[in-house]
Amino acid sequence: MISQTTRIRTWLRAGSLKRRLIIYLLIGSLLPLLLLGLMTYYSTYSILENKIRSGITSSLKQEATGLENTIDNMDFASKQFSLDGRILETLDTYFTDSDSYERAAAMSEIQNVINTVNYTNPYLGLTFYYAPQEPDRILFENLSVKPRFSETSLPPFTKYNGGIYYGPHPTMYGDGSNIVLSNLRRVNMSDREIYVYLETNFNLFRKLVSQEAYGIAVSHFLTNNEGEITYTDNWEPANPADKSRLAEAIQTGASRYKGYILFSFPSAQGWELTVAVKSAAFRGEIDRWLIRFGVLIAGALILSLLIAYAIWKMIYRPLRRVNQEIGYMRDNRSTAFRYTHIAEFDMLLRNFWEMRQHIGQLIETVTLNEKNKSRLEIEKLLIQINPHFLHNTLNSVQWLARMNGQKEIDRLVTLLAKVLHYNLGKQSIIVPLSEEIEALRNYVELQQIRYDYEFEVRIEVDPAAEDVPIPRFLLQPLVENAIYHGSSERNGAIAIGVTRISEGQALLRVTDNGEGMNEEAIAALLSPQDKPVKKGLGIGLHYVTQLVKKYFGSERLLHIRSEAGVGTTIEIQIPIRAKEELENA
């Protein structure tokens, strides 16, 4: 079954330039816009969301810190009233002294202390001592207290540093209705049950927990140390069970609850402040940005389509005109062309017209070249083939055909085919050393058959050098000259070695045990020559020298060492280069 991708490719290939141009222009216009839009959308969306979350979290932390500081201040003030030795002595005088004057003085002193502490601590509101076992349960109050005061009617909030905190709840001030936090701490008197009761300032809690700091509508939830919600604003549950379920969600650290996004701050004092924001309100700024972004994208899309249409008209219509003009000139070479008034297309028409005038000459030239092609190919083969080597090898084939069976003939012909294929083939001029060595083995075996194994050839190749690229036919001329001129009449021996001497260099060596040469002969062979010699060792050596110079930059990489009666060694130390670098040399 043909895949959808294959169908699209087939449709594009079969389609006209008009169809392809439209598709590519649309892709070129819409794809960058789409990618830019997606990147901008996700980046800006993330920035806006993080900004809103950071703002809410920062405001929440500020409010929670304010509540913590308020409780710490109340803790400090209540300890002053309940633990200070001087106040305790005055309280004891008030309860135990029978002298009315002393009692009045004690009451006045305590009242002054309460007023002084309240004056120096503006966050404090209603303050009094509470003695539930005494006839007058409310003592030394700085403000009037509501009748029938009882701590059991207050909502528990948390226990912290020996004090019990209640609230938020309506103030116990007789003429007030503000929401406050209160603290009840037992006075350090062993013989009586007396407590000091403190409330926050009337407006303090309203300032600490407000809507203005967030910039959007939020709901506050205060959870006491028992996990119960003791205060909420701007939220009316659909049924009473919702409040307990919300408390459970806050306790478990949930981030969402029934269309609300929750942000919580657990305090080390045992309570937790939570802010809930409606998802719609949370996304309000993001949604407004999305609308503006959508309008911008739509405008950019329309503009891109208009630009694509203009480009299509500017390219396709003149191109169709060019096609018509070329058709007219095809039928009549002398037909003049009409300009499209677009410089690039007019230049194309003018060049095509000039090219048409030369077509006849080009056809004649091509015809002549085709006639000469066969002759040139034959001459090329004749130049590349070594007639002497090919003649002798064919004589060997004839001799083997008469003296032996078909196996030897098959082997000889096979080796000859491999050598001719390697030397005269059309493969790349640059080959790995392993291929050069393989061709060399075939060539050596052919020569051994020809000379009836009168000489021995030993080839040693470093495995690390097998992949080193070299010019083709680099070693065979040196081995050929070693066979013809370097081996002795009996027990001839030729050693061929390939070694990778470093990461960047390889050494090629051909050694024979022939008669050797003196220094003058070596210098003559290595000296530059305007024309190559026509016979002897100089033919192959000149070819190899030129090959080394062309591909490796210097003929000095080739060295000859020879000793009369011992033999001759030719070494080529080449730098290791990439195949592509050698092919471009």
- 473: domain CATH number is 3.30.565.10
The tokens describing 497, both together, are: 């070695």
Whether residue 115 is found in the same domain as residue 202 = yes
Number of domains in the chain: 3
Whether residue 140 is found in the same domain as residue 63 = yes
Flag whether pLDDT at 377 surpasses 50.
Answer: no
Query: pLDDT band at 393, cuts 50/70/90?
Result: low
Whether residue 278 is found in the same domain as residue 291 = no
Whether residue 334 is found in the same domain as residue 443 = no
Q: State the pLDDT at residue 197.
A: 93
Q: Does residue 365 sit within a domain?
A: no
Whether residue 223 is found in the same domain as residue 321 = no
Report residue 496: phi and psi, to 5°.
-120, 125
Give the span between the Cα atoms of 483 and 476, in whole angstroms.
10
Q: Does residue 564 sit within a domain?
A: yes
Q: Closest Cα partner for 150 from 167, 168, 138? A: 138
Q: Given 282, 306, 338, which residue is the final one in a domain?
A: 282
Give the span between the Cα atoms of 537 and 516, in whole angstroms.
12
Q: How far is CA 438 from CA 18, 85, 123, 475, 582, in A?
A: 56, 111, 101, 11, 21
Whether residue 276 is found in the same domain as residue 318 = no
Whether residue 74 is found in the same domain as residue 209 = yes
467-520 pLDDT per residue, tens: 999 988 888 888 888 887 766 555 788 999 999 988 889 999 999 888 888 888
Q: What is the 3-class SS of 262-299, one letter each residue?
A: EEEEECCCCCEEEEEEEHHHHCHHHHHHHHHHHHHHHH
Q: State the pLDDT at residue 203.
A: 75
Give the span between the Cα atoms of 424 and 383, in whole angstroms.
10
Q: Closest Cα partner for 64 from 216, 265, 332? A: 265
Q: Which CATH number is 247's domain given? A: 3.30.450.20
How confident is the model over 440-445, as a mean pLDDT? 88
Query: pLDDT band at 584, cuts 50/70/90?
Result: confident
Whether residue 302 is found in the same domain as residue 160 = no
Range of the structural domain that residue 520 is part of: 430-583
Q: State the pLDDT at residue 6.
A: 64
The tokens describing 388, both together, are: 């002497």
How confident is the model over 175-201, as a mean pLDDT? 88
Helix (H, G, I), strand (E, B) or coil at 199: strand
Q: State the pLDDT at residue 357.
A: 67
For residue 237, whether the previous peptide bond is cis, meaning omega lies within 30 degrees of 0, is: no
How confident is the model over 404-421, as a mean pLDDT? 70
Flag whether pLDDT at 42 surpasses 80.
Answer: no
Hunting for tokens 């269309």 — which residue is that?
A: 259
Q: Would you give the DSSP letter of residue 194?
A: -
Q: Given 247, 282, 317, which residue is the final one in a domain?
A: 282
Q: State the pLDDT at residue 210.
A: 76
Query: pLDDT band at 363, cuts 50/70/90?
Result: low
Flag whether pLDDT at 290 surpasses 90.
Answer: no
Hunting for tokens 């895949």 — which residue is that?
A: 3
Q: Which amino acid is located at 326 in the chain?
A: I
Q: Does residue 56 sit within a domain?
A: yes
Sheet with 558-563, side-by-side order of all strands: 455-461, 492-500, 505-512, 567-575, 558-563
The tokens describing 529, both together, are: 């020559």
How confident is the model over 534-541, as a mean pLDDT? 55
Q: Given 300, 335, 357, which residue is the final one in a domain?
A: 357
Task: Please report, for the chain, how many H helices and E strands are present, in that order.
Answer: 17, 18
Q: Does residue 103 sit within a domain?
A: yes
Q: Does residue 257 sit within a domain?
A: yes
Whether residue 93 is found in the same domain as residue 212 = yes
pTM of the model: 0.47
Whether residue 265 is found in the same domain as residue 338 = no
How confident is the model over 426-450, as a mean pLDDT? 85
Q: Does residue 20 sit within a domain?
A: no
60-103 pLDDT per residue, tens: 898 888 889 989 988 988 888 888 888 888 888 888 877 888 88
Whether residue 267 is found in the same domain as residue 292 = no
111-161 pLDDT per residue, tens: 888 888 888 888 888 999 998 888 888 888 888 888 888 888 899 999 998
549-582 pLDDT per residue, tens: 888 887 778 888 988 888 899 999 999 888 888 8
Whether residue 341 is found in the same domain as residue 461 = no
Give long-range contacts, CB 8 A cutoff, 24+ apart: 61-66: 61/265, 62/213, 63/208, 63/209, 63/210, 63/213, 63/220, 63/265, 63/273, 64/265, 64/267, 64/273, 66/208
